[in-house]
Structure 1
Amino acid sequence: METEKSKIVRILIIITSITAAVMELIDISIVNVALTNISGTLGATVEDASWVVTAYGIANVIIIPLTGFLSRYFGRKNYYLTSILLFTLASYMCGNSSSLWMLVFWRFVQGIGGGALLSVSQGILFDQFKPEQKGIAGGIFGMGIVIGPTIGPVLGGYIVDNYHWGLIFDINIPVGILAAILTWYFVEKKPDEFKIDRKSLSIDYIGIISLCVGIGALQYVLEKGQSEDWFEDEMIRYLTAAAILGLTVFIWWELRTKSPVINLKVMKSRNLTGSNILTFVCGFGLFGSAYLFPVMVQRAMGYTPTDAGLAMIPGALVSLLAMPLIGIGLGKGIKPVYFVTMGFAFFVLHGYTCSQVAPGADKWWFIVSQLCRGLGSGCLTVPLLTQAVVGLKPQDMPYGISLNNMCRQLGGAFGIAIMNTYATNRSATHRMDLVSNLQENNPLMIERLHQYAAGFMAKGIAPLNAQNLAVGSLERSIAGQAQMLAYLDGFLLISAFFICSIPFMLLLKNQNMDAETRAKVATAAH
C-alpha cells in the first residue's frame, strides 16, 4: 500500500523528470526568435549568430544515442544529476556570454548536458508507474515532447519583446537547481548502479568516435546547408563525405564488435524499425511545422514574435488534454496503429489547412490547423514511444529507446532543413512566375503604380522620385507574395510527406504492450 509520503515523493519525481525534459526541448527552439537581437548585441551577423542554434543541435544529436551507454557506465542517477548540473551551468554561462563564440561554445556544452534530460528522464518517469500504467506514463512524457518545441517560440518571443535575450538562458537556472536537488534526494539508484564494475565494461572507442563524426557532420550539413548554398560550399562537401564515411564505419563496426556502444542488431525487430521510421516522420512534421509557422506569420504576415507564439498555443493545449487519454486508451488495449493512423490524418489536415491561409488572417484563423497539429502529435508520439520496445529483450530496450529518441531529433533536423531550403527555392520560383505576368501595358499594373506614386506625392515627394518609389513598392509587394506562396507550399509538402510515409505503418505489428513487457520497460529503460 502506497503511503502518503511515498505518493508525494512519486509526484515530485514525475514533476522533476518532465520538467527536465521540457526544459531541454524548449531550448531547442527558444533561441530561434532571438537571433536578430543576439547578433545586434554581440556585434555579429545573423548568419554567424545561427551557430548558437547549430552548436546545440550538433551536441544534442550526438549525445542522445550514447545516453544508454553513459547511464550504464556512470550509473543512471549519477549521469542524470551531472547532466542537469552541466546544463544549468552552461545556461548561466550562455546568458552571461560577452561574445558570440563564447555563447556558441557554451551552447554546445548545454547540448551535451541536455541529451540526458530527454532520454534518461523517460526511464525515470516510467519507473514511477505500475506495469499496467505505462501507457499513461508514455502519455505524460509525450506531452513534454510536443509542448517543448511549441512553448519555445512563445516564451522566446515574449522575452525578446520585453526583456534582454540573456533571460532565455537564465530562466533555466532556478529550474535546473530545483531539479538537481529533487534528483539528489528523491531519485533512487537502480540495483545495478551499486555494483558498477567499470573495468569490466569495454568502451567502444571506434563506435563512439565514428558516431560523433557521422552524426555531428550530418547535423552540421542539415543546419547550415541552406545558408551556405549546400554543395556549392567546400565545407559542406567535406562534411557530407565525413557524415557518409563516419556513419558507414559506425554501422559496419557496431554490427561486428562484441561490445557495441549501440547494439544495432536490435533493428532486426520489425516493430522497432517501423516505430523509428514513423518517429522520424513525426519529428519531421513536429519540428518542421514548428519552424515554418512562426517564420511565415512573422515574415509574410507581420506578426510579432509574441503573436506568433500565441497562435501555436491551441495545439499545445489540446496535446495536454489528449496525451494522457491516449495513454489510458493504450493501457486498455486499443491498438496503437489506430492512433498512428489518426495522427497521420491530423497532420495531413494540419498541413492542408495552413496552406489555405489568406495573407490578412489573424492568429485566431489558425485554431483549427493548430488543433490538428496538437492532436496529430499526440496520436503519434505516445503510441510510438511504447511501440519502440515491444518485442525487445530487457537488455536491448535501452538501445531501442535511445535510437527512437535519436530518430525523432534527426527527423526534426531534416524537417527544419528541408522546410528552409524548399521555402527559399519556391519563393524564387513564385517570384519569377509573378514577374513574368507583369506587362508594361497591363492596366492593373499601371493603376497600381499610379496609386503608389500618388500616395508618395501626397507626402510631398517629387514626381520622379515618387515613380521610383512606386516601382520599389511594387517589387516589395511581389517579393512578399512570392514568400507567402512559398510558405504555403511548405505546409503542403508536410502533408505530402505524411501521405507518402503511410506504407511504413505496415511495419508495426499492430499489437499493444503486454503487462510483462511494460514491466521490463520500467526496469530497463535507461
Structure 2
Amino acid sequence: MERKRNKYIKILIVITTITAAVMELIDTSIINVALNNISGTLGATLEDASWVVTAYAIANVIIIPLTGFLSRYFGRKNYYFTSIIIFTIASFMCGNSSSLWMLVFWRFVQGIGGGALLSVSQGILFDQFKPEQKGMAGAIFGMGVVLGPTVGPILGGYIVDNYHWALIFDINIPIGILAAIFTWHFIDRKEDEYDIDKSAIPIDYVGILSLTVGIGALQYILEKGQSEDWFEDSAIRLLTVAAVVGLGLFIWWELNTKNPAINLRVMKSRNLIGSNLLTFVCGFGLFGSVYLFPVMVQRAMGYTPTDAGLSMVPGAIVSLIAMPFIGIGLGKGIKPIYFVILGFILFIMHGYLSSQAAPDADKWWFILPQICRGIGTGCLTVPLLSQAVVGLKPSDMPYGISLTNMCRQLGGAFGIAIMNTYTTNRYATHRSDLVSNLQGNSTLVTGRVNALTNGMIGKGVNPGIAKQAAYGSIDHAISSQAHMQAYLDGFLLIAVFFACTVPFMFLLKSENMDAETRAKVAAAAH
C-alpha cells in the first residue's frame, strides 16, 4: 500500500515540476501574438508594448544564474514554493493591469518568479528517479521544454481571437495554485535544507546589484534608443554610463571576490568563451525571429493571432521530433560541433528564406523557413551546452552551464530589442522612399485616387469625404508595404548576424566527452 502511495506521489511531483516549467516557457512566447491587441487596448505603440516581452526576458536573465545561490540560501523547496507564489500573483496582476507600464512592471516580477520554475524544476524532477532512470527523466522534461514554446503562440492566438488578452495571464492562476499546493505537500526538502546556516552563505550584494543595474540600463538603451534619438537624449547618456560602470564593476568584482554570485573565472576556458558567444547568437536568432514573425504577419499581412500561432507550429513540431535524435547522437559520441555547424546553416537559411516573403504569402509558404528554424534550434540548444563544458573540471561545470543559460537568455533579450529598434528605423526609411516616389502629377497616382474616389461615391459616400478616404487608403497601403519591407530586413539581419559570427566556431574544441560527462550535460541541458 505504501509503495503504491509513493508511486502516486512520484507521479504528482513529475506532473507538478513539468507543468510549472511548461507554464514558464509558455509565458515567454504566448505574449508575442497578443502585442497588437495589448498596444491597442492600453493606448500604447507596438514598440512600447514590446517591453512586455523584454521585461520578462531581462528578469529571467538576472535570476537564472542566481538560482543556485538562492536555492542554497533559502532551501530549494522554500525557494521553489515562493517562486510559484510570486509567479502566480504576478500573473493575476498582469491580467488586471490598467496601463502598459503597470503591465511591464508585473511582467518583470513574473519573470523573477519564473526563473526558478525552469531551472529548479529540473533538479526536483531528477531526484525522483534512480540513476539508471535519469535518461528517461531528461527525455520527459525535454519534451515539456519543447512543448511550452509550441503551445504558447497557438494558445495565445486562440485566446486573443476569442476572448480578452488578459486571459493569457489568468490561466496561470489555477495552475499556479495547484502547483503550490502539490509542492508544499508532496515535495520533500533535501537533507541539507533542514539546518541551513545562512550566516555561512555570504550574499554577493555588489555582484547582484551591479549585474541588475548594468543589464537593466543596457536593455533600456537598446529598447528606447531609436525613439529617443539615442545620445541626443539625456536619459540615454546617463544610462549608458550606468551600463558601462555597472557591467564593468560586475566583471571586475566577480573575478576578484572570494564568494561571487556568478563565478566568471571559468571563462578562462577558450572553449567556454566561444560556446557562450555562439549561444548568445542562438538566443538572438531564436527569440528575435519568434518575436518578429507574429508581428509581421499580423501587422503587414493581415493574419489573425490564431493564424500567426498556427504558422509557427511546423517549426515547433520538427524541433520536437529532432531533439531526441540529437540527444541520441550526442550520447553515442557524435561531436557537438557538427550539430552546431548544421544549426548555423539552417538559421541562416531561415533568415534568408523569411526575408523573401511576399505580402500575399499564405501560411504554407512559411513552412520551409519555420522547419529550418525548428531543426536549427534543436541543433544548437543542447549541443552548444554540451560543447560549452568540454575541458572544464567537474566542479566548474555548474558554473559553465549557468553562464551558458544566461548568455542564451541575454541574447534573446538583445534580439527582441534590436529587432524592434532596427525594424522601426527601416520602416521610416522605406516609407520615406515610397512616399518620395509618389509624384502629385503622376498619372498612376491620379488614376488610383480617382478610381478609389469614384468607387466610394458609387456606394453613396459624399464626394468630399470619398476623396479624403481615397488618400487615406493609399497612405495605409504605403504603411503596410513599408512595414513588410522593414520586417523582411529584420529577418535578413538575423541571417547576416549568424553568418558573421561563424568564425567564433574556431574557438571551439572538437574532442569527445566521456559517458559520465555526457550524462551530466544531458541532465543539465533539460
| TM-score for the superposition, normalised by structure 1 | 0.89
Q: Is the 8 A contact 2:91 2:170 kept in 1?
A: yes
Q: Deviations over 1:156-176 (max 9, x none)?
A: 222122123322112112322
Map of 1:493 onto structure 2? 493
Return closer, same or farther for 1:215/1:126 CA change in 2, 3 Å cut-off: farther
**Residue 470 (structure 1) aligned with residue 470 (structure 2):** yes
Post-superposition offset of 1:306: 1.2
Question: Alpha carbons of 1:380 and 1:50: their partners in 2 closer, same or farther (altered >3 Å)?
Answer: closer
Q: Which residue number in structure 2 is paired with residue 199 of structure 1?
A: 199
Q: What amino acid sits opposite 1:200 in the alignment?
A: A
- Tell me what 1:212 maps to: 212
1:172 aligns with 2:181: no
| Counterpart Cα distance in 1 of 2:287 and 2:525 | 25
Correspondence for 1:21? 21
Displacement after TM superposition at 1:58 (Å): 3.6
* Alpha-carbon distance between aligned partners in 1 of 2:335 and 2:131, rounded to the nearest angstrom: 17
Tell me, yes or no, if the aligned pair for 2:385 and 2:525 is still in contact at 8 Å.
Answer: no
Instruction: Give the stretch that moved more between structures: 419-428 or 219-228.
Output: 219-228
Q: CA deviation at 1:496?
A: 0.9
Letter in 1 for 2:158: Y
Deviations 1:80-135 (A, max 9, x none): 22212221232233334466565444333222111111222344455567778877
Contact conserved, 1:91 with 1:170, CA < 8 A, in 2? yes
2-structure distance, mates of 1:259, 1:239: 28
Q: Where does residue 242 of structure 2 map in the other structure?
A: 242
- Residues 339-379 of structure 1: CA distance to partner in whole angstroms, max 9, x if unpaired? 11111111111112211212112212211111111111111
Native 8 Å contact 2:158 2:306 kept in 1: yes
Distance 1:405 1:338, change over 3 A: same
Q: Distance in 1 between matches of 2:130 and 2:447?
A: 72
Query: In terms of mean alpha carbon deviation, does 154-163 or 220-229 score higher?
Result: 220-229
For 2:95, the aligned partner's letter is G
Residues 363/16 of structure 1: CA separation in 2 closer, same or farther (3 Å cut): same
Q: 1:524, CA displacement in angstroms?
A: 8.6
Q: 1:84 touches 1:117 (CA, 8 Å); kept in 2?
A: yes
* 1:499 CA drift (Å): 0.9
**Are positions 1:423 and 2:423 aligned together?**
yes
**Cα 1:8/1:357, change in 2 over 3 Å:** farther
Which digits, 9 at most, give the CA deviation of each residue in 1:20-59, with x for residues without a partner? 2222122233334445555666677767665544543343
Deviations 1:387-415 (A, max 9, x none): 33333333323322221121111111111
Q: Which residue of 2 aligns with 1:108?
A: 108
Matches of residues 14-53 of structure 1 in structure 2 within 5 Å? 14-35=14-35, 37-38=37-38, 52-53=52-53
Determine the structure 1 residue equivalent to 2:253.
Answer: 253
Q: Indicate if the aligned counterparts of 1:123 and 1:522 stay in contact, CA closer than 8 A.
A: no
Name the aligned partner's letter for residue 79 of structure 2.
Answer: Y
- For residue 260 of structure 2, what is the amino acid of its counterpart? P
AA in 2 matched with 1:218? L
8 Å CA contact retained: 2:223, 2:421: no
What is the CA RMSD across the aligned residues, in angstroms? Answer: 3.1
Counterpart position of 1:334: 334
TM-aligned CA deviation for residue 439 of structure 1: 3.9
Query: Per the alignment, in what secondary structure is the counterpart of residue 255 of structure 1?
Result: helix
- Residues 306-358 of structure 1, C-alpha deviations (whole Å, 9 max, x = no match): 11111111111111111122111111111111111111111111112211212
Q: Distance in 1 between matches of 2:229 and 2:11?
A: 49
Is 1:61–2:34 an aligned residue pair? no
Unaligned runs of 5+ in 2: none
Is contact 1:85–1:180 with CA below 8 Å preserved after alignment?
yes
* Residue equivalent to 1:154: 154
In the comparison of the two structures, how many residue pairs are matched?
Answer: 524
Counterparts of 1:304 and 1:139, CA distance in 2: 34
**How much does 1:256 deviate?**
0.9
Which residue of structure 2 aligns with residue 311 of structure 1? 311
**Residues in 2 aligned to 1:325 and 1:5: alpha-carbon distance in whole angstroms:** 35
Contact 1:132-1:331 within 8 A present in 2 as well: no
Using the TM superposition, name which of 493-502 and 166-175 deviates more: 166-175
Q: Mean alpha-carbon deviation: is it higher for 94-103 or for 445-454? A: 94-103
| Contact 1:16/1:183 (8 A) holds in 2 | yes
Compared CA separation, residues 451 and 382, structure 1 to 2 (3 A): same
The answer on whether the counterparts of 1:30 and 1:153 sit within 8 Å (CA) in structure 2 is yes
For residues 139-181 of structure 1, give each alpha carbon's deviation from its aligned partner in whole angstroms, at most 9, with x where no partner exists. Answer: 6655555554453333222212212332211211232233334
Tell me if structure 1 keeps the 8 A contact 2:80–2:120. yes
CA distance in 1, matches of 2:370, 2:31: 22
Partner of 1:368: 368
8 Å Cα contact 2:138/2:522 also seen in 1: no
Q: Write the distance in 2 (CA, Å) between the matches of 1:520 and 1:465.
A: 70
SS at match of 1:359: coil
Q: In the aligned structure 2, how far is the partner of 1:419 from the partner of 1:74?
A: 38
Equivalent residues of 2:284, 2:413 under 8 A apart: yes
Residues of 2 paired with 1:152 and 1:81: CA distance?
24
Q: In the alignment, what sits opposite 1:267? A: 267
Structure 1: distance between partners of 2:419 and 2:188? 43
Match of 1:93 in 2: 93
User: How far apart are residue 386 of structure 1 and its match?
Assistant: 2.8
Provide the rounded CA distance (Å) in 2 between the counterparts of 1:46 and 1:436.
25
Give the gaps of 5 or more residues in structure 1: none
Contact 1:52-1:107 within 8 A present in 2 as well: yes
Q: Could you say if the C-alpha distance between residues 181 and 395 of structure 1 is closer, same or farther in structure 2, counting changes exceeding 3 Å?
A: farther
Task: Pick which of 224-233 and 321-330 moved more.
Answer: 224-233
- Residue 299 of structure 1 aligns with an amino acid whose one-letter code is R
Q: CA deviation at 1:522?
A: 8.3
Deviation at 1:383, TM superposition (A): 1.1
Q: 1:322 to 1:478 in 2, by over 3 A?
A: same
Q: Deviations over 1:65-94 (max 9, x none)?
A: 211211222233332222122212322333
Verify the 8 A CA contact 2:129 2:137 in the aligned structure 1.
Answer: yes
Tell me, yes or no, if structure 1 residue 380 matches structure 2 residue 380. Answer: yes
Residue aligned with 1:510, SS = coil
Deviation at 1:273, TM superposition (A): 1.8
Identity of paired residues, percent? Answer: 76
For the structure 1 residues 40 and 452, does the alpha-carbon distance in structure 2 shift closer, same or farther, using more than 3 Å as the test?
A: closer
For 1:374, the aligned partner's letter is G
Conserved 8 A contact 1:284-1:412 = yes
SS of 2:256's equivalent in the other structure is coil
Aligned partner of 2:302 in structure 1 is: 302
